[in-house]
Amino acid sequence: MAHTHEFRFSGNDDFDFEIRTTIGQSFSGAADIGEVLAAVQGVDDKDYDGWFRAWLGLGDRIAAQADASAEAGRTVSAASAYLRAASYYATAVNAVASLESEDELLPTFRKHRAAWDAWVDAVDLDIARVAIPYQDTTLPGYLFRAPGARAETASRPLLVVVNGSDGALTSLWSSAVSGALRRGYDALVFDGPGQQSMLFERGVPFRPDWEAVLTPVLDFALAQTGVDADRVALYGISQAGYWVPRALAFEHRFAAAVADPGVVDVSTSWTDHLPGNLRKLLDEGEDAKFDRDMELGMKFSHELANTWRFRARPYGTTGYAETLRAVLQYSVEQVAGRITTPLLITDPEHEQFWPGQSERLAALTPSVSTLVRFSEAEGADFHVQPLARALTEQRMFDWLDERLGR
């Protein structure tokens, strides 16, 4: 969907959105607007290698500054720079999607995670690395304690924060964790199946039945000292607007939840762009013909082919039809009516990935849901309100505080 704004950071819709998303993180200290705009200035709309190099170079430069501050014993400056570097590397990881090769993916991701971990060690916060039991393995996570929590004897509310399809931990810091800590919440973040380290390092793909993930995560959270079992809330961003309601249909112990935005059917962001003849082949089960025609079409757009490969990877599939059949399983249409948890659903104007789905989710959950609209007039439009995270945080936590009796 083309932007309606006259003002743009780039003529490329994807570049423009990534810039908005990254500079929107400046509110929580995870970006500095000037250095971002300087880094991407002059990158041509079709220069995908230049786009990747701009973000990787910015990450490298700020990480070097962080190292120098750390070596000089200036930990506040080091922490600030490590967090920004982690954010820029995360954008570089996403930029690999449009490159001809994925050779840069793992090294760039490892730079991102190294910068994040250096921030965790340097910042003046109480953060514990945790391993959350999951099936026959563990999910890597980080448990943040609210400032001053160690001195308190009373238990505290906890916010479990869930990522989308390709988000990084820095985006979770900006979208929810920093606001939670300032309000006296503890917070738990983790990589689930198909997300970040679970995908890139271990090759574990997505799964549609996210209750199989969030139930063990909640079990782990409830076992931690100082957590009030009656005040554990849940937040999901981007594709987690599907993960969260899907899990809530089966897991009823969360006190309240936020879907930012609401996602009923993940597949529409894939299938809405299919030509009618291709959709017909898919509907009729003509997978071989579908794959043949898709392969032909991809030859005319390297950019599309590279993006498809990157987006399909977390689903653990190979063929085009096989991938879409997998994505079609990611729907809450039939189970949303089982949700009993109070649910806040954000609904930004000009939602470009799942338009209309926040309203649809609210319609499927009328007794428990609150729909909150965000508008262009507020500077709060587009997917996950990238340039209005302060406003989003205010509305979300005011609602959560009310639900949790705070």
CA distance 275 to 254: 41
pLDDT at position 153 is: 57
CA distance 332 to 243: 9
More confident of the two residues 150 and 129: 129
Q: What single letter denotes the amino acid at residue 142?
A: Y
Q: Which residue has the tokens 């309240």?
A: 256
Q: Break the chain into its structural domains and give their ranges.
A: 13-120, 126-266+330-403, 269-327
Q: Is the pLDDT of residue 277 over 80?
A: yes
**Residue range 364-405, pLDDT digits in tens:** 999 999 999 999 999 999 999 999 999 999 999 999 999 998
Among 395, 390, 324, 351, smallest CA distance to 28 is for 390
What is the mean predicted confidence (pLDDT) over 315-344?
95
**Residue range 192-218, pLDDT digits in tens:** 999 999 999 999 999 999 999 999 999
In the structure, what pLDDT confidence band is assigned to residue 6 with cuts at 50, 70 and 90?
Answer: low
Q: Is the pLDDT of residue 4 over 90?
A: no
Q: Is the pLDDT of residue 302 over 80?
A: no
Listed range (115-119, 277-281, 337-341) with the worst mean pLDDT: 277-281
Q: Is the pLDDT of residue 1 over 60?
A: no
Q: Is the pLDDT of residue 151 over 60?
A: no
Cβ(156)–Cβ(184) under 8 Å?
A: yes
CA dihedral over 25, 26, 32, 34, signed as positive or negative = positive
Q: Is the pLDDT of residue 168 over 80?
A: yes
pLDDT at position 5 is: 56
Residue 299, number of CB atoms within 10 A of its CB: 9
CA distance 152 to 384: 34
**Residue range 284-299, pLDDT digits in tens:** 999 999 999 999 888 8
Q: Is the pLDDT of residue 89 over 90?
A: yes
CA distance 118 to 114: 6
pLDDT at position 297 is: 87
Q: Is the pLDDT of residue 78 over 80?
A: yes
Q: Cis omega before residue 107 (within 30°)?
A: no
Q: What is the pTM of this model?
A: 0.95
Torsion angle of the four alpha carbons 20, 23, 27, 33, in this order, in degrees rounded to the nearest 10: -140
What is the mean predicted confidence (pLDDT) over 333-353?
97
How far from 244 is each of 215, 239, 295, 343, CA to CA, in Å?
11, 9, 34, 10
pLDDT at position 181 is: 97
In eight-state DSSP terms, residue 131 is: E
Residues 6+ apart with CB under 8 A from 284: none
Among 174, 97, 184, smallest CA distance to 390 is for 174
Q: First CA to last CA across the chain, in angstroms?
A: 40
pLDDT at position 128 is: 97
pLDDT at position 132 is: 98
Let me know if domain 13-120 sits in CATH 1.20.1440.110: yes
Among 401, 108, 84, smallest CA distance to 258 is for 401
Q: HSE of 60 in the Cβ direction (CA atoms, 13 Å)?
A: 9
In the structure, what pLDDT confidence band is assigned to residue 300 with cuts at 50, 70 and 90?
Answer: confident
**Residue range 94-105, pLDDT digits in tens:** 999 888 889 999
Question: Which two three-digit tokens encode residue 295?
Answer: 């392969």
Q: Which residue has the tokens 């509907």?
A: 283
Question: Which two three-digit tokens encode residue 180?
Answer: 């939670």
Average pLDDT value over all residues in the chain: 94
Question: Which two three-digit tokens encode residue 17?
Answer: 């959105």
Question: Which two three-digit tokens encode residue 12?
Answer: 């490329």
Phi-psi region of 262 (alpha: psi -120 to 50; beta: other; left: phi over 0): beta
Torsion angle of the four alpha carbons 109, 114, 118, 123, in this order, in degrees rounded to the nearest 10: 20
Question: Which two three-digit tokens encode residue 115?
Answer: 């910068």
Cβ(174)–Cβ(30) under 8 Å?
A: yes
Among 316, 301, 306, 357, smallest CA distance to 333 is for 357
Across the beta sheet with 156-162, the strand order is 126-134, 137-145, 186-190, 156-162, 227-237, 256-260, 343-348, 369-374
In the structure, what pLDDT confidence band is assigned to residue 7 with cuts at 50, 70 and 90?
Answer: confident
Indicate the CATH number of 126-266+330-403 among 3.40.50.620, 2.40.160.10, 1.10.3720.10, 3.40.50.1820: 3.40.50.1820
pLDDT at position 154 is: 72
Listed range (17-31, 112-126, 184-198, 275-289) with the worst mean pLDDT: 275-289
More confident of the two residues 303 and 243: 243
